[in-house]
Structure 1
Amino acid sequence: MYNLLSGLSIIEASSFVASPTAGLYCAQMGAEVIRVDHKAGGLDYDRYMLTSEGRSLSWENLNRAKKSVALDLRSGEGRELLVELAAKTGNLITNLPEKSFLSHEAVKAKQPDGAPNLVSVRIMGWHDGRQAMDFTVNAASGYPLMCGPEEWDMDTAPPVNQVLPAWDFITGAYCAFAMLAALRHRDQTGEGSELRVPLGDVAIGTMANSGAMAEMLYRGGDRERLGNAIWGALGRDFKSRDGKRFMVAALTEKQWNGLIEAFDVGEEIAALEKEVGANFADGDRPRFEHRHRLFDLFQNAAEREDFDALAIRLSAAGTTFERYRTMHEASTDPVLIDENPLFGPSPANPSQFEYPATRSFANIPGRDAGTPAPAPYLGQHTEEVLAERLGLSSGSIGELVDRDIARLSDKNSN
């Protein structure tokens, strides 16, 4: 964990993926992120998959390096404590509805003199207030109907959902950026900001930013399915003689020349160029337009060798390729995990399960990334935060615990 954001405190009231991701990225850069949940855990506290002790591995990894406060958020008193924490801290990340008890205006109204003007980042569903989640906005984006085998009919074939909740993670990353942008603005002007980030807008906006929306409007229709091929360039999966599947991409002149060298198909490429009247060295367009003939050519070459021998030549020629792995294989791969400085030793996870943990994705030369921090136990920092942030005495906190308005660590609850 780097300390680029040391001194910054953020209250996070969230669940599921996007909002916790925003807090996670800030925490991994050194911010003090205090996640406040309902006393029994938020909606994602027991998100599948659970260990035999009932601990969510998803929750554990999305909440590393954070502090945890557990309050009765179904009671007025518990909600007031959360509002007061956000008001005094001045920085809030949440996916609670904008008209909830934790609205920007409600928190702003409770800010004491001397508190920094409130910056709140709120993740919404759609811009018009409709609910949404990753897989529903993905359905609206059109991407699932672009996925699948090339021979599938566009009008009758089913959609293919992506497994990764990509819009959630992109939204979380964008919200971390939006929070820091608003904080910079406050540092310069003293003004607070309310930022609402609809998940649906992130999906549709990303589609537009990629040029895909302009493409569809220019076409006056939809793009064809491409299977595992890369749109607009040469790239696809191939199968070696020993049955190993691998992905190859050739987007640059170096990658294209390396591919010809590694597959030893220079004569075949020259003959195909003469036949179709194209020069494949001219760039993506001729290679993409004649991709089917090129795919057949490279697949025939791939079938002549086992993958390990072919991989040596692909590496030596400077190509861009990777063998397909199962996720379990990826999780145990020494190059991807053991030798990767992204991963550090297992901290003391609430699940008690030991496994490599991520540091910040950013690698800063000359700075120690530190060891990965664990996720907190639910309520682990309730007493500390209520005392330090709200100035409550131990007696007052004890009384809140006795009345079940606040809860302490659930370390021994399983």
Structure 2
Amino acid sequence: MPGTSGPGERPLEGLHVVECASFVAGPSGGMALARLGADVLRVDPPGGGGDFHRWPVDDQGTSLYWAGLNKGKRSLALDFRTPEGRELLLALATEPGADSGVYLDNVAGRARLTHEELTARRPDVIHVHIEGAAGGKPAVDYTVNAGVGIPHLTGPADHAAPVNHALPAWDFLCGQYAATGILAALHRRHRTGEGSSLSVALSDVALTALGDLGWLDEAHRTGRPRPRIGNHTYGSFGVDFPTADGHRVIAVALTAGQWKALLAATGTADVFAALEPALDADLSDESDRYRHRETIEAILRPWFAARPYEEVARRLDEARALWGPYRDMAEAVELALADENSVVREMDQPGIGPMATTTCPIRTDGVPTPPMPAPALGADTDAVLSERLGLSHSEIGKLHDAGLVAGPR
């Protein structure tokens, strides 16, 4: 059973979570719990939900996306939009026991199980509902990101149109808030015996993150958006530099020590010491480095441009400067797979075959746990209905005949 493999007992071993969610936020939250040992049961309609065939896909059209976001879970294929299927889902979500009665969903409309329905069966149920905007208005990561101003900060300094970013960051952050909410609610239930009804909205998550960074108040105080600065690091010094042989690196100096190391690596300490009086600046100060970032960049750029990557890397490392190479994703995954200590591993994913995937980024005693494959859609349908709900073979067969449940194809 997923949630029981790996070295030793993991912290959420024995916890049962029912996840009725699709796309990124809900499934990533459920997977975070599964990676820590919880038995997470993902519920999809027969044939799969809206994300079952989502790209990227392999050569046969099987979704690498779906497999990646459901590692270590069990799968129940159930038509919960019917009264009979809804009843089964309700029974699973409110299953008795100290380690059960935890339900995570992002279902909208009439198919959604309400908290009132859940508490009527189990008053101490823990229910975490993920939504686009607070109150239920539809939204996804990409629409939320557009609405909070990030695309107007992204892209080259001279670019006028908004630039979307590829990573659904708010989705993943929302999933971690959902997982944290479940753990907090479990602690509360253990302490008081009471359940919880929690909701997490993508738009709230995005605004919270920007508020925590001080970005919202900055815009509020100035009354204007922050200008684009291209690849420069906001509020400090950091930018990309091409090397003589066509590579590109980013060098960053957030602290005075990192600034000193960068100057030592590039042999420019005397140049900047002579320049500071003319600029009326103290470049050991982060704010002054940001104000004069373009001047600093112009002075450092020839040093990088005159040297091949290997020399640049060696000199920066010897000085203990803060830097990193730019890689494409194909390079990144191959390097990670070659690193025995990496969280990236190759495993056999049923229906796909060898798959480069990841394990939990939380290491136990410094060691990452092996990744667990995602289930085939409906792989655990019969076992769950039998073990968790006590249905007989005959009763399960009738559900299959009626098209209410399905097993793996």
1:332 aligned counterpart, secondary structure: helix
Residue 108 (1) aligns with residue 119 (2): yes
Moved over 4 A (4+): none
Partner of 1:28: 35
Deviation of 1:127 (Å): 1.1
Deviates more, 1:99-108 or 1:203-212: 99-108
In structure 2, the residue matched to 1:92 is: 103
Give the counterpart of 2:318 among 308, 316, 324.
316
Q: Which of these residues, 39, 44, 55, is aligned with residue 62 of structure 2? A: 55
Which consecutive unaligned segments of at least 5 residues does structure 2 have? 1-5
AA paired with 1:74? R
Counterpart residue number, 1:296: 298
Report the equivalent of 1:136: 143
Kindly provide the CA deviation profile for residues 247-282 of structure 1, in whole angstroms up to 9, marking residues without a partner as x.
11111122111100111111211122132122211x
Contact map agreement 2:256 2:286 (CA 8 A) in 1:
no
SS for the counterpart of 1:390 is: coil
Residue 184, structure 1, aligned to residue 187, structure 2? yes
Deviations 1:347-401 (A, max 9, x none): 33133331333111011217x6442110000010011111111111112112211
Whether the 8 Å contact between 1:48 and 1:56 is mirrored in structure 2 is yes
Q: Counterpart amino acid of 1:399?
A: K
* Kept in 1: contact 2:131–2:199 (CA 8 A): yes
Q: Between Structure 1 and Structure 2, how many residues are aligned? A: 398
Q: 2:21 aligns with which of 4, 14, 18?
A: 14
Q: Aligned residue for 2:393?
A: 394
- Residue aligned with 2:77, SS: strand
Letter in 2 for 1:320: L
Aligned residue number for residue 363 of structure 2:
363
Q: Do the aligned residues in 2 keep the contact of 1:342 with 1:360 (CA within 8 Å)?
A: no
Contact 1:36 1:71 in 2 (8 A): yes
| Kept in 2: contact 1:69–1:380 (CA 8 A) | yes
Segments of 5+ residues of structure 1 without an aligned counterpart are none
Deviation at 1:126, TM superposition (A): 0.7
TM-score of the superposition, structure 1-length normalised?
0.92
- Residues 390 and 132 of structure 1, relative CA distance in 2, 3 Å threshold: same
User: More deviation in 207-216 or 101-110?
Assistant: 101-110
Partner of 1:223: 226
1:129 deviates by 2.1
TM-score normalised by L of structure 2: 0.94
Deviation at 1:344, TM superposition (A): 6.0
Selected match of 2:152 from 139, 145, 148: 145
Q: 2 CA distance for matches of 1:12 and 1:51? A: 25
**In the TM superposition, what is the alpha-carbon distance from 1:100 to its structure 2 partner?**
4.1
Query: What amino acid does structure 1 have at the position aligned with 2:310?
Result: D
Classify the secondary structure of the residue corresponding to 2:22: coil
Pairwise mapping of residues 109-128 of structure 1 onto structure 2 (< 5 A)? 109-111=120-122, 117-128=124-135
Per-residue deviation, 1:36: 0.7
Counterpart residue number, 2:286? 284
* Structure 2 counterpart of 1:73: 80
Percent identity, aligned pairs only? 38
Report SS of the residue matched to 1:286. Answer: helix
> 2: distance between equivalents of 1:77 and 1:377?
23
In the TM superposition, residue 340 of structure 1 has moved relative to its aligned partner by 4.8
Q: Distance in 2 between matches of 1:305 and 1:118?
A: 62
CA contact (8 A) 2:345 2:359 kept: no
Which amino acid in 1 is paired with 2:156? Answer: P
Q: Hey, what's the Cα distance between the residues in 2 that align with 1:14 and 1:251?
A: 40
> Which residue is 1:197 aligned to?
200
How far 1:246 sits from its partner (Å)?
A: 1.0
Task: Write out per-residue CA displacement over residues 311-346 of structure 1, whole angstroms, 9 at most, x where no aligned residue.
Answer: 01111111111111111111112xx33215343653
CA contact (8 A) 2:333 2:344 kept: no
